[in-house]
Structure 1
């Protein structure tokens, strides 16, 4: 009996540690769905922090159509979501993760590229490419609303290729693409980004179930700390 006591106690300690980690949301499988446009910086940063800070957590993240993320969280197909814009949906809670300035992507040889900041009215004088509304109605409407009061009315259009990493249509030196500040992360060669003076910010949200588990609370805590450290939210 005496010889078997130490292994038994060690096994009990391991079981206790496992239970404690599970209760803290540090064990298990975490499935995250994210808006494709958050994949350049926001989603990878959060996933990396979750992996590095929780060795017992198996994290996987996949891009999803933005309107599908909140319903997928609500019905349990995924555990958490990262959406550009505050998306509608029942059975979930949304937490502000990041604010970013609105600007335009444009060719480096575009006439407006010489300005560190662009007036909304000046941008409205050029053709404006908006993202497909079906892909993210919230962001489409927010970006178009930036130019609501400009005269003459701006010329909006949607690109034939919904996701063109080369930004081929901007290389004409005329077209502008309204976009959040994340567009400055690894832009294609010859393409740059400039903020629009006075434009409202865009938002990125963390989506969790309305009834959170310890795992969800852990994700929320990690995301909150990360947002503070990377200055994603103004003080």
Structure 2
């Protein structure tokens, strides 16, 4: 028995007229009659009582029709579920994110994604590189929002947002009078730095940046989180290099000035496993591309 046989049967049962059913199915009447006869022989029951004047369902035919309606409805729901999954409209998505992305991409991307795909279960996990990449490779995370800086051959990185590095300094620090600050002006300043054990990628990037400017930063205090770094700057402990997205934190106590010489971009990337991405990952990537325009400058491919 094939699905087409059931559709033929339903159409004849609804029309109770072979000629009208054949017209509805866009086929000739004789092949339709033959297909129904084949179905009856396969099932070993008579489905229709035929006379020269009318066609009627038998008791067996009525019983089958009721069950076929249920089966076709389940099939329709299954097909729609498969199509919804392929469109990225249902399922589950685990997003790993670097904590700094909480200040720009994460709120916008997750909010818009949930609005657009309310049937998708979204789970968020905070983790920094390289652990974030390890979870993506293992399949623990489906997609990541990371700060660009490392490359793992098993993953694809698409930079969607670029911000400039900013100097965070105590509000009453002499450097706060400047409109922008060259990196070499910080050579003798005490630094507040991310703990390398917690933020190894960012820590090493800042050390390399300062080394390129001809000095090694005088790190007087390390902190594990963005809020802690800014809190220590507010307390006058030292200066810090941060991304522009953090320049709204504790503005009564901390001044933020663009870093120049060199101007240094902080790039945020959507990351996923190099294997063909799932429809949900593609859907999230599209949302991240869109909301990056609201969070900052879009990166053109």
TM interval, short-chain normalised = 0.7 to 0.9
Q: In the alignment, what sits opposite 1:137? A: 200
Is 2:297 the counterpart of 1:232? yes
Deviation at residue 62 of structure 1 after TM alignment: 1.9
User: Is 1:18 the equivalent of 2:70?
Assistant: no
CA distance in 2, matches of 1:141, 1:33: 21
Displacement of 1:87 in angstroms is 2.7
- From 224, 228, 232, give the equivalent of 1:162: 224
1:88 to 145, 151, 162: 151
* Structure 2 residues without counterparts, runs of 5 or longer: 1-12, 15-64
- Tell me if the contact between 1:102 and 1:199 (Cα under 8 Å) persists in the aligned partners: yes
Asked if structure 2 preserves the Cα contact closer than 8 Å seen for 1:146 and 1:199, the reply is no
Equivalent pairs, count: 234
- Deviation, structure 1 residue 176: 0.7
RCO comparison, higher one (Cα < 8 Å, 6+):
1
> What's the CA shift for 1:158?
5.9
Deviation per CA, 1:24-64, whole angstroms, max 9, x where unpaired?
12211111111122222222221112111111211111211
CA RMSD across the alignment: 2.7
What residue ranges of structure 1 are gaps of 5+ in the alignment? Answer: none
Instruction: From the superposition, tell whether residues 143 and 47 of structure 1 become closer, same or farther in structure 2 (CA, over 3 Å).
Output: same
CA offsets 1:91-131 (integer angstroms, 9 cap, x no match): 22111121110111111111111222112222223112222
Is 1:41 aligned to 2:104, yes or no? Answer: yes
Specify which structure has the higher proportion of helix.
2
Check conservation: 2:190, 2:220, Cα contact below 8 A. Answer: no
**Hey, what's the Cα distance between the residues in 1 that align with 2:152 and 2:285?**
19
Q: Give matches, 1:90-109, under 5 Å.
A: 90-109=153-172
Is residue 133 of structure 2 the alignment partner of residue 67 of structure 1?
A: no
Contact 2:289 2:298 in 1 (8 A): no
